[in-house]
């Protein structure tokens, strides 16, 4: 199966985890687009969606799915989103689509994070995928320097990208993230960092992994 076919497979499988009559959290990215498309026929069976990006909101609305502002919602049963990497403990790197801050906000509302991904995203140690960090523009050089000093990472601003919040993305290469929770806590405290793309505090409870043999369900 192609990578696109695997994404479609897990997007369809994720629909079974949506609680009827509830609000569902919806992430961002190509795999999530497959989930949104699969969710559309059930739009009258849910109360709406909370979206993590402008692009996902546009796709949801185009398919007739009601979108609610996160400020209108106190909690949601499930948040369904992809990952750039996920380890065997459910910790993830996210932010390849530059929506990590809003993704983390929606994840914080959710009782369960369900990650949908193809098998290539499952890794033993996070870090082969460049770690995205949303940064206030005036702090970008300072944050880049600090990653080199603290972790030996090679960081640079992602060219031509501005987040939905008006900030820049710094991508950090050359990392081996052996303690995701500690690194997330540390980097989150650096002045100018809005969000680091380590999802350890908001790790996945379930991963629906697309494999050539079908959908493999991992629980953490």
108 and 211 co-located in one domain: yes
Question: What does the pLDDT look like over 10-34, one tens digit per residue?
Answer: 999 999 999 999 999 999 999 999 9
Residue 105: per-residue pLDDT:
97
57 and 150 co-located in one domain: no
- Domain region containing 9: 3-123+201-219
Residue 66: phi and psi, rounded to 5, are -65, 135
Residue 3: per-residue pLDDT:
86
State the pLDDT confidence band at 169, using cuts at 50, 70 and 90.
very high
Nearest alpha-carbon partner for 36 in 62, 3, 69, 2 = 62
Asked if 194 and 135 count as a contact pair (C-beta separation under 8 A), the reply is yes
Binding residues for substrate: 28-31, 81-84, 94-97, 121
27 and 71 co-located in one domain: yes
> Which residues make Cβ contacts (< 8 Å) with residue 179, sequence separation at least 6?
none
State the pLDDT confidence band at 157, using cuts at 50, 70 and 90.
very high
For residue 62 the two structure tokens come to 């185009």
Catalytically active residues are 103
73 and 165 co-located in one domain: no
CATH number at residue 87: 3.40.50.1360
Nearest alpha-carbon partner for 188 in 120, 133, 118 = 133
Residue 108: per-residue pLDDT:
97
> Which residues make Cβ contacts (< 8 Å) with residue 128, sequence separation at least 6?
85
191 and 205 co-located in one domain: no
109 and 156 co-located in one domain: no
Q: Please give the distance of CA 126 from its chain centroid, rounded to a whole number.
A: 14
61 and 167 co-located in one domain: no
108 and 158 co-located in one domain: no
Mean pLDDT over residues 126-149, rounded?
98
CATH number at residue 177: 3.30.70.260
CB atoms within 10 A of CB 151: 19
Mean pLDDT of the chain: 97
Residue 98: per-residue pLDDT:
97
115 and 214 co-located in one domain: yes
CA dist list (Å): 136 to 18, 122, 148, 152, 166: 35, 30, 18, 22, 8
52 and 161 co-located in one domain: no
State the pLDDT confidence band at 107, using cuts at 50, 70 and 90.
very high
Count the domains in the chain: 2
Question: What does the pLDDT look like over 53-95, one tens digit per residue?
Answer: 999 999 999 999 999 999 999 999 999 999 999 999 999 999 9
56 and 14 co-located in one domain: yes
Q: Please give the distance of CA 53 from its chain centroid, rounded to a whole number.
A: 11
Q: Quote the pTM value.
A: 0.94
104 and 158 co-located in one domain: no
Asked if 125 and 177 count as a contact pair (C-beta separation under 8 A), the reply is yes
Residue 1: per-residue pLDDT:
81
Binding residues: 28-31, 81-84, 94-97, 121
């Amino acid at each position: 199966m192609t990578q696109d076919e695997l994404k479609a497979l897990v997007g369809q499988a994720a629909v079974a985890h949506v609680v009827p009559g509830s609000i569902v959290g919806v992430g961002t990215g190509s795999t999530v687009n497959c989930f949104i498309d699969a969710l559309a026929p059930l739009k009258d069976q849910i109360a709406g969606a909370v979206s993590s990006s402008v692009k996902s909101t546009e796709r949801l609305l185009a398919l007739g799915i009601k979108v609610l502002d996160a400020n209108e919602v106190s909690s949601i049963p499930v948040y369904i989103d992809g990952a750039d990497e996920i380890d065997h403990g459910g910790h993830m790197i996210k932010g390849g689509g530059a929506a990590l801050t809003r993704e983390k906000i929606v994840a914080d509302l959710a009782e369960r994070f369900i990650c949908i991904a193809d098998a290539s995203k499952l890794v033993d140690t996070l870090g082969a995928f460049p770690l995205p960090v949303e940064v206030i523009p005036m702090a970008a050089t300072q944050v880049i320097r600090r990653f080199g000093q603290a972790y030996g990472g090679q960081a640079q601003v992602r060219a031509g990208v501005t987040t939905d919040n008006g900030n820049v993305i710094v991508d950090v290469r050359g990392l081996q993230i052996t303690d995701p929770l500690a690194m997330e806590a540390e980097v989150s405290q650096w002045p100018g960092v809005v969000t680091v793309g380590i999802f350890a505090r908001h790790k996945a409870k379930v991963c629906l992994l697309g494999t050539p043999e079908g959908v493999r369900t991992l629980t953490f």
